Structure 1
Amino acid sequence: MKKISLTNQILIAMVVGMIVGSIIGPRIEPLKILGDIFLRLVQMSVVVMIMGAVIEAVGSLNPKELGKFGWKLAVWFMGGTFVASILGIAVGFLIKPGSSVTMEIPSNVELSPTTEISTYETILNFFPNNIVTSMTEGNMIQVIIFSILFGLGMSLLSVHTDLGTIKAGIHQFNQIIVQMVTMIMKMAPIGIFALLAWVTGTIGFEVMIPLGKFIFAMALATAVYLIIWIVLTATICKVNPILLAKKLTRMTVMAFTTTSSAITLPVKMEDQEKLLGVSKRVSGLVGPLGMAMNSNGLAIFLAIASITLSQFYGLEFGVKEAISTVLLSTLATLGTVAVPGGGLVALAIVIPSLNLPLESIGILAGIDWFSGMFRTVLNVDADATIAMILAQGEGELDHQLLNTPMDDIP
């Protein structure tokens, strides 16, 4: 009997979890602990996995190569996010999600007050003053800044000093972390079953009704962007777009069901290397950096959310507001924590600039899990395809592996 793949196990768990949750209802809540344990087990290793991967990748580079590669990375990340924001605005105007919304802000939603953060503080907060504190708080962008500098220092020092032992130690440490995460991922079907059962049982499907147009707008924008991006990547990397889409399936399912780029990171990096033909060097750089800095799905979410809330309150949303939203959506995605709920944090940055009340975020808080499914898929798949494009430019894309059918890969 053929063994059921992990991807299919997760899909089955997702469907069964939603059915069980809808039948049992709110009484299913105690089961959520299984999902929370799964998320914590994966998250506990994310910070050190990112740190180790970036240090190893940067430490093996020539400093001149890193500078050139870094500029390419920034152009693709920022360019893709900017285009995603524009697409979000276009879909928002087309669907008009907030034009028919009449629900009031939930009285039970409590949001902590937010103060406007200056550009000076925003830039300064990218840099850590205590790396241990940054790791404890899970501040990914600060951890990555430290890791890049550590790896760069190792790269410069290795020119005239033998660092073979420490490089080997870091490599072995990274392998142990990956092996640990691989073991934990076997729990994914159980964890995802518990989480989806809880969401369906406690929130219910009815939450989709008043904001169904918003969810539809997110789904439409995600589908359009993915189709365009996959075709573009397939053209650049010379692969059949249908085959490429199939090879993105496992990470797509993981992103959709967990709504977390951080949780999906191990799967994404493994598939980049074993299915998409991306070299370990490029994968080790683009994977962690993309998780923290490349948020196309979040940019689309912020753009559509801004239009939706403006329409809900009957406020004008013209060209000026659209330009402001595109710029803010692009910048607000930088360094946003890649865990469930991060979208509401970024939304708190954009909403005040449009003269919308901060508590209006509560309107979308109830369906954040569902909108998070779509934005996480776009974040993860865009990271993987950008890794392919950069690997192609560096001559480090294995075309034979990339063009190998799924059934022929062991």
Structure 2
Amino acid sequence: MTSQHAERTTSLEIVLAWWRDTPLYLRILGAVALGLAVGVALGDQAAALETPAKLVLRILGALAPPLILLAIMQALMRAHLGGQQALRLVTLLVTNTLVAIGVGLLVANVLQPGSWWKAAPAHHPVEAAAAADPLSQFLDNVPKSVAGPFSDNGTVMGVIFIAVALGVALRGVRHHEVRTVEDLVHVALTSLIAILHWIIELVPLAVFGIVASIVGVKGFSDFIALGGFVLAVLVALALQAAYYLIRVRLGSWAPPLYVLRGVRDALVMAFSTGSSTATMPVTYARLRDKVGLREQSASMGALVGANFNNDGTALYEAMSALFVAQLLGMHLTLGQQFIVVVTSIIASVGAAGIPEAGLVTMTLVFKAVALPTDYIAMLFTVDWFLDRCRTAINVMGDVTVSCLLDGKTREQQETPPP
């Protein structure tokens, strides 16, 4: 028995190691393929498989507010800001983000990708039995927010969920000294990000469930519509890139093509890794060594500004909200679209320090205009690709800010760029 138990343990460890070593986007693609097959096979019975997706989305929604709060607090405490250059940096960051969101909303309103293929009406024949479904009862006990279980109508189970999650996460930083407020924020943010990593591991399961349930109940119409959404997002990101190049041409001494050649390593790394945070050192080095910007300009734009600059993410989330609204036949008024703008700005500011930031912050944008967060799981199926595209735009925004901060006069005039 001991030998068999050891063999089973070894097999489980091998499977878990393979799961962790496989890139997330490949796991998501596999979940999409499996979900399509299961949805076709089970038909309406596949509706019950959406529960895992709802569970993952609820936890992401609960983590989003404290993650954004702590990420912004940490970024503001660690940023070295001061003087007129800092004011100009803030102005450039806000302007670029507003332009990005404006471009996203403009493209979404003009192209109307969600209207290209109307979503089939929701139909859940198993909903009558939901009250007796153990999974649904378990889902009801999962807190919708971190503070929820501590309110008057909170549940003991919700408190237990939070206590267990934080208890396990804090084990990783239990020896970290807390001598300053910054240390306290760092420990809290590190703990929440550890929990977020666990949830991200379950994202493929959520994708499988939502794909199977949608295909089984409503067919392929929603996923066909995603093709239009991907095209619209790529058009918007291309327009944002063109805006960056124009700004560099008009506001910096460095020619746009010269800048692109100098930072292409950073752009390729951003697309490959999907992480603007991991790309920051490369971006800074290329701006200094290849482009020839001043040290202050490169560090302010690529290191300090990168903690607040997520133009591609803000653009994507604004477009996602409009796309889902169009898909469901809902009309977002100008006032609601303004709420999308404000929420996207707030969410994008704190997104730099959060892994898979789009998965977390999008729940805030959807809830702000009362859109069903269930459709976020459907967007996961194409997010792995669009995430890399918008990360490259995020880095391109950092590069643009650095070039504009450097001004129209080069530090060393004796070797002008070709």
Check whether TM > 0.5.
yes
1:306 to 1:31, Cα distance in 2 relative to 1, 3 A: closer
CA shift digits 1:252-291 (9 cap, x unpaired) = 1111111111111111111111122222223223222222
Aligned to 1:316: 331
Amino acid aligned to 2:101? S
CA shift digits 1:35-85 (9 cap, x unpaired) = 69xxxxxxxxxxxxxx9xx97x94xxxx9xx22111101100001101111
Distance in 1, matches of 2:97 and 2:146, equals 23
Q: Tell me if 1:92 matches 2:80.
A: no
5+ long unaligned stretches in structure 2: 1-14, 25-73, 125-134, 148-178, 191-203, 212-219
C-alpha deviation, 1:32, in angstroms: 5.4
Aligned to 1:389: 404
The answer (yes or no) to whether the contact 1:277–1:401 under 8 Å persists in 2 is no
- Picking from 120, 123, 131, the partner of 2:182 is 131
1:301 to 1:104, Cα distance in 2 relative to 1, 3 A: farther
C-alpha deviation, 1:312, in angstroms: 1.8
- Picking from 390, 412, 418, the partner of 1:375 is 390
Amino acid aligned to 1:292? N
Aligned to 2:119: 102
Distance in 2, matches of 1:256 and 1:208, equals 24
Distance in 2, matches of 1:252 and 1:385, equals 12
Amino acid aligned to 2:87? W
Amino acid aligned to 1:83? V
Matches within 5 A, 1:188-267: 210-267=225-282
Amino acid aligned to 2:85? F
Question: Which SS does the other structure have where 2:349 is aligned?
Answer: coil
Distance in 2, matches of 1:399 and 1:307, equals 48
C-alpha deviation, 1:376, in angstroms: 0.7
Aligned to 1:30: 18
Amino acid aligned to 2:91? V
1:136 to 1:265, Cα distance in 2 relative to 1, 3 A: farther
The answer (yes or no) to whether the contact 1:272–1:384 under 8 Å persists in 2 is yes
C-alpha deviation, 1:356, in angstroms: 1.1
1:97 to 1:330, Cα distance in 2 relative to 1, 3 A: same
C-alpha deviation, 1:130, in angstroms: 3.3
Aligned length: 283
Percent sequence identity over aligned pairs:
22
Distance in 1, matches of 2:291 and 2:374, equals 43
C-alpha deviation, 1:400, in angstroms: 6.0
Aligned to 2:214: none
Amino acid aligned to 1:134? V
C-alpha deviation, 1:323, in angstroms: 2.0
- Picking from 279, 295, 307, the partner of 2:322 is 307
The answer (yes or no) to whether the contact 1:92–1:217 under 8 Å persists in 2 is yes
Q: Tell me if 1:74 matches 2:90.
A: yes
Question: Which SS does the other structure have where 2:291 is aligned?
Answer: coil
Distance in 2, matches of 1:401 and 1:325, equals 46
1:67 to 1:287, Cα distance in 2 relative to 1, 3 A: same
CA shift digits 1:73-131 (9 cap, x unpaired) = 110000110111110001111222222263799x99x99765499xxxxxxxxxx9732
Amino acid aligned to 1:33? D
Distance in 2, matches of 1:250 and 1:345, equals 28
Distance in 2, matches of 1:403 and 1:314, equals 52
C-alpha deviation, 1:340, in angstroms: 4.2
C-alpha deviation, 1:399, in angstroms: 5.8
The answer (yes or no) to whether the contact 1:277–1:402 under 8 Å persists in 2 is no
Distance in 1, matches of 2:278 and 2:187, equals 17
C-alpha deviation, 1:243, in angstroms: 2.4
1:238 to 1:374, Cα distance in 2 relative to 1, 3 A: same
C-alpha deviation, 1:327, in angstroms: 2.2
The answer (yes or no) to whether the contact 2:113–2:225 under 8 Å persists in 1 is no
1:288 to 1:310, Cα distance in 2 relative to 1, 3 A: same
Aligned to 2:157: none
Question: Which SS does the other structure have where 1:211 is aligned?
Answer: helix
1:34 to 1:243, Cα distance in 2 relative to 1, 3 A: same
1:360 to 1:287, Cα distance in 2 relative to 1, 3 A: same
Aligned to 1:14: none
Aligned to 1:171: none
Distance in 2, matches of 1:76 and 1:225, equals 14
Distance in 1, matches of 2:102 and 2:277, equals 25
Distance in 1, matches of 2:242 and 2:413, equals 21
Distance in 1, matches of 2:355 and 2:225, equals 22
Who wins on radius of gyration, i.e. which is larger?
2
- Picking from 363, 367, 388, the partner of 1:352 is 367
5+ long unaligned stretches in structure 1: 1-26, 37-50, 118-127, 140-197, 405-410
1:331 to 1:367, Cα distance in 2 relative to 1, 3 A: same
- Picking from 269, 276, 280, the partner of 2:284 is 269
